[in-house]
Amino acid sequence: MKAIVVGSGAGGATAARELAKSGFEVTVLEAGKPFSPLTHKVSWLSSLRGTWLLKDENSIHRVFPHYDVSRASNELTIFRGVTEGGCTSISCGNMVRAENGLKEINLDLTPEFEEIEQTLSIKPVPKEKWRPLTQQMFAEGERLGYSPKPTPKVGNVDKCVGCGYCEVGCVTGAKWDSRQLYKQYIGKGVSLSTNCRVQKVLVESKRARGVLVSHGASTEEVNADVVVLSAGGIGTAQILRASDLPAKNNLWVDIVLTVGGIMKDAKMLNEPPMTWFIKQEDYILSPYFDILSYWFHKPWKDVSAEDRVGMMIKLADSEQGKVNADGTVTKPLEPIDHERLEKAKVEAREIMEATGVKGLFVDGMVHGGHLGGTVPLTSGDVESMHPSWLPRDLWVADLSLMPRSQGLPTMLTAAALSLRVSKKIIQEKGKR
């Protein structure tokens, strides 16, 4: 039995592995190129800060070809990892259970969370590897009553050299990414094709029979018994709309804004990012050197990497974005998003100032990188894990299924959703 999995991130890689384990012949179609770490460019990038070559976010794709960068509104930039491993290849390796909105639809992913957690090495970065400033901010966060917690991360902490460049690829192999999920199945039930962009799903007699794929200047039809879309909240919605199938105008992006301050010789890049976090109702706060703002955001250009301090806000935003058939996105920030960001910025500055970090405090780029909500599950869909408006044999296995924004790291949740969907596919095909 043949299956097509579109995308190789946390959702796609999990689906590919589970289906291959059950005897499916799986073809993974990845729109991006094979991933390679970009850390070797760091030394000369810093010398170009503030020049026209690195003047704004539009320059990012030229330097980091694995990043897809687009504007959703005047206020918001969208970052996507379009490469082998998807967003996991450019993530910080954080693994927490993000479950906002699941109780509302009676979906309990506890079995999937536990299964994944038991198969991966997940633990915080030891405090002795934190920079002194990071330890001080943690202590001040406790004193101020914010209850910070060390961030669970996936990978091999012993291999980590504390370079701080997780988001441009790990050169030591310390950071886990989703390629490791299906690596052992390549040639043994799984085949991977990169630079293959799925244009649309082919539907016949109310069932999916395959996809239309472009590779360079050529296109071809690829047929299968099952099609699984794991291209993320934007990619999955784009394919559905191009296939004359509905996607919901419910896109969420987990808005990120990093407040920048100054401390002499802070050297935040000499440790992994986001070593601890504070969970508030609608957002988290976490120490974070925003390298994209450092290189590409003009307000950050006057401070050196050694002296720049950052506190990230990751906000659960309003689920009101739209993805079009050409992949463009329309998503303004709503008044409630602005209100919550302002509240979070006050808390971020409070923690930094309590440890001696000085202003001028400046905002980094406002962007989104966790993308979901465009094929949201309802309580009626939970039993089947198959949204009722999709044709038979077409499945979605990524954050598109999550009806609510999270304001948390979402890699674990994407994998858990895909694991549940994969089991349902195997169960259904077995019955047939």
Chain segment 18-44, per-residue pLDDT in tens: 999 999 999 999 999 999 887 656 666
Look at 10-14, 169-173, 287-291, 378-382 and tell me which has the smallest mean pLDDT.
Answer: 169-173
User: Architecture of domain 48-81+124-169+251-368 in CATH?
Assistant: 2-Layer Sandwich (3.30)
Dump pLDDT digits (tens) for 234-260.
999 999 999 999 999 999 999 999 999
- Position 432 scores a pLDDT of 59
pLDDT score, position 173: 87
Question: Are residues 311 and 221 in contact, defined by beta-carbon separation less than 8 angstroms?
Answer: no
Has residue 381 got a pLDDT over 70? yes
CA 294 remoteness from chain centre: 20
Alpha-carbon distance of 132 to 287, in angstroms, equals 12
Q: Tell whether the model's pLDDT for residue 54 goes beyond 90.
A: no
Beta-strand relationship, 77-81 and 122-123: unpaired
Provide the token pair at 61: 């794709």
Taking all residues of the chain, what is their mean pLDDT, rounded to a whole number? 94
Judged against a pLDDT cut of 70, whether residue 104 lies above it is answered with: yes
CA-based nearest residue to 408, from 369, 378, 376: 369
Of 48, 89, 43, nearest in space to 65 by CA: 89
Question: So where are the chain's domains?
Answer: 2-33+177-249+373-431, 48-81+124-169+251-368
Token pair in block for residue 323: 């993805």
Q: Is the pLDDT of residue 360 over 80?
A: yes
Q: How confident is the model at residue 317, as a pLDDT?
A: 98
pLDDT computed for residue 327 by the predictor: 93
Q: Which residue has the higher pLDDT, 421 or 291?
A: 421
Contact 236, 414 (CB under 8 A): no
Looking at residue 41, its pLDDT comes to 60
Task: Classify the C-alpha dihedral 122-128-131-135 as positive or negative.
Answer: positive
Q: Tokens 């094709």 identify what position? A: 193
- CATH among 1.10.3720.10, 3.30.1370.10, 3.50.50.60, 1.10.8.100 for 2-33+177-249+373-431: 3.50.50.60
Measured CA to CA, the distance from residue 203 to residue 247 in angstroms comes to: 16
pLDDT at 59 over 80: no
Give the C-alpha separation, 154 to 133, whole Å. Answer: 23
Q: Which residue has the higher pLDDT, 44 or 359?
A: 359
* Alpha carbon separation from 397 to 5, 91, 416 (Å, rounded): 9, 19, 9
Q: Where do the H-state alpha helices sit in 144-279?
A: 179-182, 232-242
Going by their DSSP bridges, the two strands 197-204 and 207-215 should be labelled as: antiparallel
The SS3 call for residue 200 is: strand
User: Phi first, then psi: what are they for 419, rounded to 5°?
Assistant: -65, -45
Pairing of strands 122-123, 153-154: antiparallel
**Tens digit of pLDDT for each residue in 288-342?**
999 889 988 989 988 999 999 999 999 999 999 999 999 999 999 999 999 999 9
Q: How far apart are CA 125 and CA 136, in angstroms?
A: 16
CA dihedral in degrees (27, 176, 426, 4; nearest 10)?
Answer: -20
Output the pLDDT for position 40: 57
> How sure is the predictor about 390, in pLDDT bands with cuts at 50, 70 and 90?
very high
Helix (H) or strand (E) holding 142: helix 132-143
Instruction: Tell me the average pLDDT across 400-428.
Output: 98
Lowest mean pLDDT among 54-68, 191-205, 379-393: 54-68
Torsion of Cα atoms, 22 then 27 then 32 then 34, to 10°: 80
What lies within 8 Å, CB to CB, of 128 at 6+ separation is none
- pLDDT, one tens digit per residue, over 159-204 is 988 888 888 888 888 999 999 999 999 999 999 999 999 999 999 9
pLDDT in tens, 108-128: 999 999 999 999 999 999 999
Percent of the chain with pLDDT over 70: 97
The neighbour count for residue 130, using CB atoms within 10 Å, is: 22
pLDDT at 42: 64
Q: Between 369 and 104, whose confidence is greater?
A: 104
Place of tokens 């301090």: 309
Looking at residue 44, what is its pLDDT? 66
Task: Give the containing element (helix H, strand E) for 65.
Answer: none
Name residue 186's beta-bridge partners. 190
DSSP H helical ranges for 360-432: 411-431
Single out the residue of 151, 373, 342, 362 nearest to residue 254, CA to CA.
Answer: 373
**What 3-state DSSP class applies to 227?**
strand
Range list of β-strands (E), 7-141: 25-29, 67-71, 77-81, 122-123
